Every structure is written in structure tokens, then in C-alpha cells.
Structure 1
Amino acid sequence: MNALLGQAWRCPRSAVLVTRRFRVKSTKPPKKAAARGGSNALQSFNELPADEQLRRRLNDRERVQRRTTPSEPALRQRYGEFYDLAKHRLNHLLREMGRWDPEHREYRAFGLHTQEDYIQEISLFKDALKKSFNLASALNMTARNDNPLFWNLRAAFIRGDMQELTKELRYALQTFLMRKKFSKSTAELHLTVADLRFPYEWFPATRQLQRTIHLHVGPTNSGKTYNALKALENAKSGIYAGPLRLLAHEIFTRFIAKGKPCALITGEEQRIPENADMFFRSCTVEMTPLNWKVDVAVIDEIQMIADEHRGWAWTQAVLGCQAKELHLCGEERVVDLIQELCARLGDKCIVHRYQRLNPLLPMEEAVGTDFKNLQKGDAVISFSRVNLHALKAGIEGATGRKCAIVYGSLPPETRAAQAALFNDPNNEYDFLVASDAIGMGLNLEIKRVVFESAFKFDGSTQRPLTIPEVKQIGGRAGRYRTANDAVCSGNEGEASVTSAQSKWGAPGFVTAMDEQDLEHIKKHLLKDAKPITAAGIMPPSHIIERFASLFPPDIPLAFVLSRLREMARLSSSFNICSFGDVLEISNVLKEFNLSIYDRSVLLTAPVSLREQAQKDVLRAFAWSIANLSGGHLLEIPEIDLEVLEVDPSALTALARKDHLVRLEGLHKAVTLYLWLSYRYRGVFISQQLAFHVKSLVEEKITNCLEAADFDAERQQKRREILRRQAQSHTKKEEKLLGEVVEDAPVAESGPGLWEAEGHEDPLYREKKEVNAALPVRVRRIAASPTGAVSQE
């Protein structure tokens, strides 16, 4: 059961006793099965009327089906265990929300004006929760349309364990409290505002253009981005939009080297040419300028349009970019979706397909833990920054050769220097350790990709690498031409003499350090990823503002956003992106007097809320925005600038780890400060100082990471632990509550509609009916002065 529900929750003592009681083996000998009649029984059956024979056959078939599905009792047991968990988290949530109080802002906002209202509504919600689990257990009603509360709770737990389950319970409770607060006409108005079926209408200026969309698709190392960039270079004005800051910097460097004026625009940095009226723009996809008419725009890694967190940025760029020619580069699986979108937009779509320039082959054997098995031109891929530096130290110690390092948060200049060292065949940098950032189009001359692990942490749990991830990262082996070649040669028409193909004369190879991981990698390389059927969207600020205006002013924005997500009507070509971090940010901001516009800006900020310190930093920034003051970097005590004065050489090994955590927290805070300084220039006025602090922090982080040592046995144990965690998470969808959760359109199922089942008028209207329905302990508490709700 621990494997099922996670280590964070322990079964209540009463449930444990009940389970043990039913597990006691009987000492009585088993009863012998009664002998069935032979020919006489068959004869009596044949003498029965035809309809009675059919009824008995159907009953017998049903009994056989029940006997051949042994998972049904186990399924009911899991439903019971999950119900215990849901009750436990609900009680925890109620304690977190606090006792009822006449001045409690949230309770007042949801219409709980008296203690009796509070007790009644909480008890009714507990009844509704129990009813939903009874429907699942007794009648196997688990579909979203049949049992929406159960379906949402199950999906939340599978998606994000205890944390997501608690969030979904909070939203379900708030929805239940709001079920009778709106008239039918108001509910219809909610549905009208939440109609997101036509997101292309959000960009009327772009709809007036007749665009030509060139879709470049193919595997890695096939030349698709190369051809798209040729079109961009030949244009008079244009935009490049990529998924990574490092990739935007690479294209920016490439254009500058060719003598073309270019601006670099990312969330935390903007470099604008001083003496040029017309210039190209290289940016991260979230920063794509939508109000600037250009000849050509290139949007890279278009398959990320389906990403559950960032997909909205690609959709926004495709729908809103005002370019005569729009070049999209990505995987084959996105073709049908882009063609469908072009048909809706009235744009012309031309598909260019490419084949890989050299083959990509998985190896039969893993590299193992001995780094002496590595070959010149190998890139070892890991998904932890600390682990990357440990691997670097281990490789250099074992081989006596230098190892370059590349990962996402490296400064662009440092990454470019490291890539150049690795790409140069005339030095001692034979190896590279890199994060999955190289899978997003970064050009490196890699002969063989070695996966240190086939699992990664996605922000909430460890999970196996997906098919697209394996192909994207592994496909970097045997690169045909690097951006460094392009910068040095300055002529795209020349054949690349330093290409990976001419240097090694062999295909790219993919392997892993462990045999178990290699099997996973090989299977994924041979499979095709599923086609992308829907693009991600996020409601823009004007829709959020209008939707929020239909609710009482004290209603938390988190509930408004959750309600908008639940009520949203979508076409088959669009999905709403994940609201996970958005809801958490909105909860942090609820205490400040901010406009909906300011809240919408902060909802898209690069905030990591896993640490309490980052929440405090966000609150400090929100206070400065609300008061339009106090935005000087040195005036914000929540920014841990004191860590810069610490000498790491005087710290113990354990203290150095804590020191590194503090440095990374400061780096996140300064990055957020820079992001806000471009949006609230009059408030956050220390931009130059922030850039200086950021460079100091990055230097100190690099020094700390370079001091990491490598322990082969410890690394092997770490990989085994990650593998077990990822496999446990994968099995949870199958083990937890049985079948795989089915997909259903959000707009077609409750609790999306106010008048849906469970949202009708209260079951009890008179006070005596309420008291009669409440448990005895709750009635006693209702009569007490404190009025806390029973936690049973």
C-alpha cells in the first residue's frame, strides 16, 4: 500500500487493524465443493424454457467473467485506500484553511456567513465525496462524465501525488460552495467568456495578412533548421524564435558574425543594436514580438506546441506572428496539426520533408562505469547540474584528458567557449558532459551520445525519458555541421570540411552507461512517437480579467483560474496548458492589492516555488509592484545578497551543499528581478547592478560545482534509486485504481457546469434537517463556542 499511495502518507490505525483482521487465516479445513449433477443436471437444463436457458447462460457467463478478473476485489480495496487518503488530505486542508471566523476573508467570499453555514456545507461536501467513491466502488462509475469528482481527484493524484490531490480537493470544495451563488443567466455568461474555441481571433491584425507557412520536418541532423535560417538570412527583416536562451544566443552570434544587425531578446536580457533602424531579432519563443511586421520568421522546435507547460508560447507565435513567410522547424508528427491550423487560418501551407544526412544507430553494449571505455567525441548526458560536474571530474581523472561541459544555466559566452573547445579537434578536449539542452538544436560535433541515465526529474517526480526526448538527444550524435563552422566560414553554400561525417566517416551512435538503461533507449529509438493532435493555449490577460469581473471581488484568483480552466470550451485542435504553477503563484499573490493585469504578468514569470525562500522573494516583488516603490535591489531583504560574502573554502562538505543551494536561490531571485525590470522599469531600477550580481553568482556557482568529486559506487546506487522511483511512478497509473485514466473534453463534463449533478440546491433546507443529517460529534461541536468541524 505504501508503494501505491506514496511514502508521504501512512494508513490510519483503524484501517490497519481492519486490514489485519481480514488477513487472519482460518484454521478450519476447507469445505469440499459439492458434486454437480451429471447427465441428470444437463437433462433438467435442456427441459427448461428457452428464455430461462438464455438467462442462466448469461448469469453463468457473468460469474465466469467475475472469476477471471481477480483485480476487481483488489480494485475495490484500492478505492477504499484512496478514499481514506482523500479524507485525510481534506481534513489537513480544513486545518490549513483555519477555523470558521466572521472575519475569515475566504469563507466570507464563498458565502459562509454563519457557523451553521460552515458546518452544513463542509458536511455536505464530505457526503458528496463519500458518494463519489461509493459510485466508483459499487458501480464502477469512474468516467469523467459519470463521476467527475472522483475522476478529477484520481487524475490529480496520478499527475502530482499528494500536492496535486490537495489542490484538487481545495478547488472541488470551493466549487461545491459556489454551486448556488449564480443565476442561470450568469452561468451562461461564464460559459460565453470561457469560450476558447477560436484562439486565432485573439490576433486580428495577423488575420488580415495572407501568410505562407513553410513547415520543415525531419529527424535531427537532416538540415531542416539550416534551410529555414537560409530563408531568414536572405530576408530584409525577420525573427528567430527558439526554445532556449542559449539557442537564441547562438543564432544572435551567428548573425553578428555575418555582419547582419541583430537584437537578442530573452526574458532576462535584451541587447538592441544602437545604430540600426532595421535589424533581425533572435529571441526565446515566449518573447516573440507579435506586433512587428517582418518578411520572414523562423520558429524552431515546433513540436513543443503540445508541451503542457510552454506549448502556449508556440501556439501564440504561430497564430500571432505577422510574417509574410513563417518557417516552422520540427518533427514529422506535427504535420497534420499544422495543416489543420493553416486551413482554419486561411494561410498557405508548404511541407518540406528531410532525411537524416547520416544514420543513427544504437549500440549493442553499454559503456559501463569505467570511463576509460569512452571514446574521443563522446557526449555523456545527465539531467542534474551537480552530477554533470561530478561526471566531468570523474572523466578527467580516469582518462587524463579534458572534458567540456554544457548545460542550460551556463552563461552564453561560457557555453560558446566550452562548445568551441569540444568542437576543435586540435586540442585535448576529447569529451563533453551535457544536459538535455543539447537536444533542443544546439550544434555540437558529437560522435556518440552516452546516456548516464534513462530517467529524469520533471519537477514533481522521476520519470522515464519519452520517445521524442530519446530521439532528440540521441540524434545529436553524428552532427553534419555545427554553428561554429557556420560562424567561421561565413558561407552557407560551401561544403563543411569539418563536418562530423567527414571527420569520422561513420554514423552517429547512441548508448548508455548501464545495460538496463540501454534497453530502454534502444526500444525508444526504434519506436515512432504518437502524432500531435492538439496545440496548447493559455487564456490571455483580457479574458482572465473579464472572467474575474463576473465573480465577487474577494474570490481568490486561483479559484477563478481553476473555474475558467474547468468551464473552458475548446475545439479539438487546442488544449489548455497546465495551471499547476499558475495556481500556486496566484495563491502567493492573493494578499496584495494588484490589478488583474499585474497578476497576469506575474503568472507567467520565471518563478520556482519549490523553496519557501522563493515564495518570500515573489511576495517582496509583488509588494513593490502594488506600492510602486521599494524596487531597488539593495532595498529588498528577501534577496540573499549576504551569501556572496561567504568563503566556500572555509566550509565543510555538508555546509558547501547548503551554500550551493543559497547561491542557486540568489541566482533565481536575480533572474526574476531582471525579468521584472523589463516590465516595470520605474519600480525595479537596479538593472545594471542585477546583471553584475548575476555574473558574480554564476562565477561562484561554477567554482562550487567544479569542486565536486566523483564516486563510481555512489553514482551507480543513485542511478538504481532513480530507476526504481521512475518505474514506481510509471506503474502508479496502472496500479492506482485500476484502468488507465481516460481522456475526455473538459467542456463536456462536470463539474464544468453550475447546474451539473452535485451543483443543485442544498439537500437540506431547514435547520432541524441539517442537524438530523450531521454526525453526533459534529452536532456537539456546532453547539460549542469554537465551532471546529469534526476531522473524522
Structure 2
Amino acid sequence: MKSLLRAAWKTPKSAVRVACRWRTQVAAAKSPLNYAVRNLKHELQDDGHMRRGRPGSATKRNYQMFESLVDSRFAEVLEDWGPWASNQDEYRSFGLTSQSLLDREVGLFKMVLDKAFTLAMEKGDTSRQENPLFWNLRNAFIKHEARGLSRELKYAFQTFLMRSRFPKAVNQLHMELADLRFPYEWYPATRMLQRTIHLHVGPTNSGKTYNALKALENSRTGIYAGPLRLLAHEVWNRITAKNKACALITGEELRIPSNTDTWYHSCTVEMTPLNALVDVAVIDEIQMIANDDRGWAWTQAFLGVQAREVHLCGEERVVDLIQDLCARLGEKCIVHRYKRLNPLESMGKSLKGNFKNLQKGDAVVAFSRVSIHQLKAGIEKETGRRCAIVYGGLPPETRASQAALFNDPNNDYDYLAASDAIGMGLNLEIKRVVFESSYKFDGQAFRPLSIPEIKQIGGRAGRYRTAAQEIAGRSSAPTTGFVTALDDEDLRDIQKAFRTEVPPIQIAGIFPPPAILERFHSYFPPRTPISFVLARLREISRLSSRFQLCDFTTAMQIAEIIKPYDLSVSDQCVFLHIPVNLRDQRQLLALQAFAECVAQLGLGRLLDFGVIDLEILDIQRPDTAYAEQAEYLRRLESLHQIITMYLWLSYRYQGVFQSQHLAFKVKSLVEEKIALHLEALNFVPEAQRSRRQRMRAMAARTEMKERTLLGADEYEDAAAVVHNEEGHEDDEPLFEGPDEVGGGGSAETEAAKEARATASG
């Protein structure tokens, strides 16, 4: 059986690093084991302190409970798939020609599951190398809880069914196509160049990006690639202000200069033009090359950009990786190290939750637009002074004017409420950074901020020079920057982060390009779901020690959603990266409608899509009812994201999605309505204090759950390296959690009450 296990699940070297996330589930899972699983921390405290080796009794109980959950979820997967007679076509594609054969395969798969858990419980073999099936299941459960576990079980069972489906020659061909050890060979035109790599590294506010941009401005042609749309806009403004032609390219906006044949490019990193030969390319925040979701975009830009000089800007911990990759490429790597231009200190006391303890020049950082606007209202009410507001979702002009108001010492805008986007390089004259909390909602769960996130955001305190001072040629003496928190509980996390060194980045993320996926898919039976092709590729891929596959979960979910539509493999590959929130039913319906439109080569006029909730534009903001306000805001946010999806597709299928101008108009109307709603929010101190306590408890519960299933060593390894910046460009979430959307009042939705009850154990 051990040989069967290893044959069926070859060590997935490509499996992604466990991220520090565990979605706190507010709706009860189908499994009757849900309550018991949620309360594992009370029964298995010693597992969080387990060292590697044979598991203790608490760990065994933990894994036994997890095995029961896996059995329950697998039964539900089979139930959803249905009996052989009702789903013959799909079963036959996996070589199952009768119900009895299906039953036999189910029995064999259960034996393999049992063996995987035996290895974990009896020998402590839980790593990717020793027990990949167990590792994949546990990883899926940690990252996406019960639903993620069900998806992983489905993919694992499909992989198991296909183990003998292919002849030996085809299997060998699969292995050759899945050899992803040399991703730099995917860009042959770039390999013909002899590039020089300049690596600018140092802490926040050390001048590394400033010097790289100087090299860009002194070149004849060049590219800037950054992590956020707001940074692309900022660089675009900087270059055009010097009367130089520059294109702006983001996922939902394209501005190409007219009356010229050559221009600079300022873009988000996913949109880096790899076919443009330029003198200088600047790739910002290169440490995100290891990001679980977006790291592939930095790797692609670094390996593929055709520039004679490539300037990479980032943290010191990426040096070894970049030097090693440059050695493999045969390219010269010059490291430029910078020291911080002014001192930075974490403070010994918090604001005690009182805005009256704010000082002129303070920036309070939150992680959703609702929180930011509530902070603004509370600060202005408590202090009697004005508070500027800056976050990625603001229109560029508004963002620039708000930053100018805050930077100007001669007005009454003493404070700033901002998102964590300020950590990515905006020019703001901040004297002290105040964290509203030391946790954030990452789309799955409330999780503690990672050490790099805290250092990068906090590092914006005590700016040396602002952009206005640079343009005017004025200088200012460097002043010490301070970092603190609104509450004492969060300040302890901030202080700990500033005392902790983060280990070097060892691995760059990759995602197979469409050409590899299309060719790999061609060696499967017709109409094989691309989600299974991705699962198979993830399972058998070969990678070098310096590369890992980015998380396939979202891509496989999208592939499942668009499976009913007759899309070419090329079109499916396009849809895999569409910016969609899979937890929003309205967005799922829109995604299906867009996929159907592409499959039928229809005229994708915006007004023809009945699933787009344009009626919300005719509804006025409810004044009183909490539930109505919450639903109103959710509908606006959903519409905004659907229009963003439409615009994203309009640049890739210009002949299909033809209402681009109308879409921009609708997007503007939605943003105005959201802004009016946010500006009307109230700040209720007790309600916000209670919310922070609840969310802090949920984040602590997330951390404890991860320790429980991972064990101390594995948890610390994961926590030390995870840096999950926003997954798709720079739109902050509109709200965090179910109890934030109603304006800060005391009322709670049922989901919020359940979340609070769960957080309290």
C-alpha cells in the first residue's frame, strides 16, 4: 500500500507554502463534526507546542478528528457527483464504465486515505515529501476550511482515478511537459539579451526606489512595474510631468500616448509588456516574488522583461535568491544596499483607544474602506481637526489632493486615515504611524499581520523628503519616525515584529504560461475539465529548488465555474486570472454570463447582461435600517467588482465586450454612491472597540487553529515567510467581516452574532 500511495501521489514539490490563514466560518458546515473541529484548541493545547517527531496523544486525537472530517467530506463529494448512472459521461472520462467499478475505486481510494493518516499518526510523517496526500488535504483545510477540503478531495480522487488511464508513453510525455525546472527558457527573446541586473535593497524610506526611478528617467525608453495601480498612476504622473510620453497600463485601464512612436510604460506588474525592447525596466517590491497568489507576476516580469538594465527594488531578504537566479541566467547582478534615511522606533505606549491622544502628522492605518471612513469621522468628532483620507480605491486626483492637504503644514488637516497601501511607497509626510489593529481580513479569515507587513507599513513614519520637496528642491532634516497602535493588545504585536528578523526568501513563484497549459491539455481526452488538468500538472510537475507553483485554488475554482461553456483552452486560460470574488453569488453569475458570451462570440453589450445589478443605481441610500444599509453597500460593492471584471475582459476581447465607455461611466457612478455612503458613516467608540476585540479574538483563534494542525515548528516556518499582500492589484476590501457594513452602530447581523460567538469559543 505504501508503494501505491507514493505512485498515486508523487511528491508535489510544486505544492505551495502554507499561508497563515484560516477562514473563520460563520455559517455551519454540513458536517456534524464542525462543532468539534471548531473547538479543537480546547482539547489539543499541547499539539501547538509539539516538536517534530512521533506525535503525542493530543496530536493523534487531532488527526483522528481530522480523518473523520475527511471521511465525511469525501462522502459528500461522492453524493454531489452522483451515482454512475446519472453522470455517465463524466465518469467515463475517468475510465469508469459501471457503478461496480466506481465502488471499487472508491474503496481503493479510502485505503490510500487511511494509509496517509496512518503515516501521520504513527510516524509523524506530515511533510510534502513524506506524505503529500495528507499535506495537500491539511493545507487545503487550513487555507479554505471545509469547502477547500472538499475541493481538494475531489481533485485527489480524480487524480487517483487517472493513475492507470494513460499509456506509459503518454505518462512519460506528461512528465516531460510538466518539467518546469527552467522557467527562464519560456522567454527566448529575453535570453538573447545580455542584461545587467541592479538590485536595490534596504528598509522602507531608504531611497532605493528613488534611485531606481532616476535611472528610468535618464533612459530613452523604459518600463515601471509595481504592485499597485496607485503606484503605476504615481509614476505615470511623475514621468508625464516632465513632458515625457508615458503609457499607463493596468488591469482595467489603458492610456497610450498619441503622436509618438516611443514612450515609457507605467504598469501593474501583471501587465508588464514582455515584447517591448527598452533601455531600463524598474520592478518594484521584488520581495513579492515569493507571494503565494501573485508571485508568478514578479517572476515573469523579472525573467521576461526585455531591458538592457533591470532595476529591482525590495527588501534585503531577497538578495540571495536574485543573485542565484542571475547566476543561472548568466547575467551580471549588482547589489546596491541602502540604509534608512531617518531613525524609526516602536513606541512604548498606545493611544489607549482615545483619538484625543493623536498628534499632528499622525496616520492611522486600517484595512478596509469602511474602517477608514469610520476612523475619519471619529477623529474629526473627537479632535475638532480635519483628517485627510488615502487608500488605493480613491480616484488618483482625489488621492493626490488628499495627500497634498495632509502634507501641507499650514492648514487644519492634522491627521490621516489610510489603508496599508501607504506601505507601498506613497509620498506622505507622516510623523507617526498608528495601527488601528495588528490583524486584517485577507478574504478568508482574520489573520495577524505578518512581520514584513508591519515593518513596511510602520516604516512610512518619519519621511525624509516628500515629492513636493523634491520638485521644489527643498530639504528637511530627517526626524525620527514612531510606530504605535490604537490599543495596547495590538502594540505588543507591533513591538514584537520590530524586534524580529525575517529569514531570507528562498523561492520564487511561477504559474505555467498558457502555451504550456494548452499543450499539456492536448494530451488528455476531449473535454477534460481544465481544473483537472491543473490538478494533474500541480501533482506531477518538477521544479528546481528555487521555484514553487503559486496557489492553483482560485484558478481551479474558476475553471469549474466556466466548465459548462464551450470555451477554447486559450480562452479558459484567460479567464483563470480574472479578478473575481468567488464568495459573491452575483459575481459568479456575472462570470458565467461573460464566459457564455465569449463562447458564443456574442455582442457583450453591458446593458444586455441581465445579471448585472444596474437597478441599484436608482436606489437611494437607506437612512435607518441596519440590514438594509448592509445589503445596499454589498450590492454596490458587487456591482463595482462586476464592472471591473467587464473592463478587464474588454481589453482582452475588444470585439466582444464593446461597452467600455459605458462601463467606465457606470463604474464612476457606483464609486460616487459608495463614497456618499462612506461619508455618511458614524463612529461609535464602544461599538468599534467591541468590534476590534471580537476581530482580535478571531485572529487569535485563527493562529491557534493553525498551530493545532501544523505543530509549532511548521507554524513558525510558515508565519515567518508569509507576506500575502492584496491578491489582485490594490483595491482594499470595502468592509472586513459581517458586522462592519452597517455604519458602526450597535446592531448586529445574525452572521455577526455567530462570528462573535465563535470568536468567544
Query: Do both proteins adopt the same fold according to a TM-score greater than 0.5, normalized to the shorter chain?
Result: yes
Aligned-pair CA distance for 1:70: 12
Q: Which of 250, 262, 267 is the matching residue for 2:234?
A: 250
Q: Which residue of 2 aligns with 1:646?
A: 619
- Within a 5 Å distance, the mapping from 1:252-651 to structure 2 comes to 252-486=236-470, 488-489=471-472, 494=473, 496-497=474-475, 499=476, 502=477, 506-649=479-622
Secondary structure class of the residue paired with 2:163 = coil
Instruction: Give the deviation of 1:142 after TM superposition.
Output: 3.2
Q: For the Cα contact (< 8 Å) 2:23–2:444, is it kept in 1?
A: no
Aligned partners of 1:738, 1:372: CA distance in 2, in Å? 43
For residue 38 of structure 1, what is the aligned residue in structure 2? none
> What residue identity is the alignment partner of 1:196?
L
**CA shift digits 1:700-753 (9 cap, x unpaired):** 111111111111111112112222222222222322264655999xxxxxxxxx
Name the CA distance, whole Å, in 2 between partners of 1:742 and 1:394.
37
CA displacement at 1:273 relative to structure 2: 1.3
Closer/same/farther in 2, CA of residues 134 and 660 from structure 1, 3 Å limit:
same
Distance change >3 Å, CA 143–CA 288, structure 1 → 2: closer
Distance, in Å, in 2 between the alignment partners of 1:733 and 1:559 is: 28
Query: What one-letter code is carried by the residue in structure 2 that aligns with 1:460?
Result: Q
Deviation (angstroms), 1:159: 2.6
Q: Which amino acid aligns with 1:640?
A: D
C-alpha distance 235-291 of structure 1, shift in aligned 2 (>3 A): same
> Structure 2 matches for 1:29-428, cutoff 5 A?
72-101=56-85, 103-428=87-412
- The unaligned stretches of length 5 or more in structure 1 are 24-65, 745-792
Secondary structure class of the residue paired with 1:648: coil
Is the 1:239–1:297 contact (alpha carbons within 8 Å) kept by the matching residues of 2? yes
Greater Cα shift, 366-375 or 551-560: 551-560
The two structures have a TM-score, normalised by structure 2, of 0.86
What is the CA deviation profile of residues 552-609 of structure 1, one whole-angstrom value per residue up to 9, with x for unaligned ones?
A: 1232111110111111111111111111211111111111111111111111111111
Supply the distance in 2 between the matched residues of 1:713 and 1:180 (Cα, whole angstroms): 62
Q: Distance in 2 between matches of 1:283 and 1:462?
A: 30
Q: Deviations over 1:232-290 (max 9, x none)?
A: 11111111111000010011111111211111111100111112222111111111111
Structure-2 separation of matches of 1:144 and 1:541: 27
Distance 1:383 1:233 in 2: 33
What's the counterpart of residue 633 of structure 2?
Answer: 660
- More divergent stretch after superposition (135-144 vs 383-392): 135-144
Change (3 A) 1:322 1:423: same
- Deviation string for 1:11-35 (max 9, x for gaps)? 759999xx9xxx9xxxxxxxxxxxx
Distance 2:145 2:579 in 1: 23
CA distance in 2 between counterparts of 1:212 and 1:221 reads 25
Q: Which moved more, 1:92-101 or 1:299-308?
A: 92-101
TM-aligned CA deviation for residue 107 of structure 1? 1.6
Is the contact made by 1:249 and 1:412 (CA closer than 8 Å) also made in structure 2? Answer: yes
Cα distance change of structure 1 residues 182 and 741 upon mapping to structure 2, 3 Å threshold: farther
State the alpha-carbon separation in 1 of the partners of residues 23 and 208 from structure 2: 45
Deviations 1:491-512 (A, max 9, x none): xxx3x33x4xx4xx63000000
For residue 71 of structure 1, report the CA deviation from its aligned partner. 6.8
Counterpart of 1:723 (choices 689, 696, 700) is 696
Is contact 1:264–1:282 with CA below 8 Å preserved after alignment? yes
Q: Which deviates more from structure 2 when the two are superposed, residues 193-202 or residues 276-285?
A: 276-285
SS in 1 for 2:364: strand
Q: In structure 1, how many angstroms separate the alpha carbons of the residues matched to 2:334 and 2:666?
A: 47
Does structure 2 conserve the Cα–Cα contact (< 8 Å) formed by 1:78 and 1:737? no
Q: 1: CA distance between counterparts of 2:298 and 2:376?
A: 34
**Two-structure CA RMSD over aligned residues (Å):** 2.4
Between the aligned partners of 1:464 and 1:541, the Cα distance in structure 2 is 35
Is contact 2:707-2:715 (8 Å) kept?
A: no
Could you say if the C-alpha distance between residues 142 and 652 of structure 1 is closer, same or farther in structure 2, counting changes exceeding 3 Å? closer
Summarize the Cα distance change of 1:217–1:14 in structure 2 as closer, same or farther, 3 Å threshold.
Answer: closer
Structure 1 residues 739-778: aligned runs within 5 Å: 740-741=713-714
**1:517 counterpart letter in structure 2:** D
Q: Which amino acid aligns with 1:679?
A: R
**Cα deviation code 1:735-774 (max 9, x no counterpart):** 2264655999xxxxxxxxxxxxxxxxxxxxxxxxxxxxxx
Which whole-Å CA distance do the structure 2 matches of 1:10 and 1:544 have between them? 35
Give the deviation of 1:88 after TM superposition.
1.3
Counterpart CA distance in 2 for 1:558 and 1:261 is 42
Change (3 A) 1:14 1:213: closer
Would the alpha carbon gap of residues 13 and 635 (structure 1) be closer, same or farther in structure 2, given more than 3 Å must change?
closer
Match of 1:714 among 687, 691, 708: 687
> Per chain length, whose mean CA-contact separation is higher, i.e. which structure has more relative contact order (CA < 8 Å, sep 6+)?
2
Q: Which runs of 4+ in 1 moved over 6 A?
A: 3-7, 13-16
Shift of 1:150: 2.0
Secondary structure at 1:351's aligned position in 2? strand
* Conserved 8 A contact 2:33-2:69: no
For 2:705, give the aligned amino acid: K
What is the Cα deviation at residue 9 of structure 1?
4.9
Kept in 1: contact 2:24–2:444 (CA 8 A): no
The alignment partner of 2:696 has SS state of helix
Contact 2:603 2:658 (C-alpha < 8 Å) held by counterparts: no
Check whether the contact 1:75–1:737 (CA below 8 A) recurs between aligned residues.
Answer: no
Kindly provide the CA deviation profile for residues 118-175 of structure 1, in whole angstroms up to 9, marking residues without a partner as x: 2222232223223332333344443444433222212222232212211111111111
Contact 2:31/2:73 (CA < 8 Å) preserved in 1?
Answer: no
SS in 2 for 1:101: helix
Equivalent-residue separation in structure 1 for 2:423 and 2:115 (angstroms): 48
The answer as to 2:658 corresponding to 1:674 is no
Moved more, 713-722 or 385-394: 713-722
* Alpha-carbon distance between aligned partners in 1 of 2:511 and 2:710, rounded to the nearest angstrom: 31
Determine the C-alpha separation between the residues in 1 that align with 2:697 and 2:155: 32
| C-alpha displacement of 1:459 | 1.7
1:104 offset after TM fit, Å?
A: 3.7
Distance 1:324 1:12 in 2: 60
CA distance in 2, matches of 1:361, 1:443: 20
The amino acid of 2:551's aligned partner reads: S
Residue 756 of structure 1 is matched in structure 2 by: none
1:447 partner letter: K
Q: Distance in 2 between matches of 1:743 and 1:178?
A: 36
Alignment partner of 1:463: what SS?
strand
Task: Identify the range of structure 1 (179-188 vs 588-597) with the bigger mean alpha-carbon deviation.
Answer: 179-188
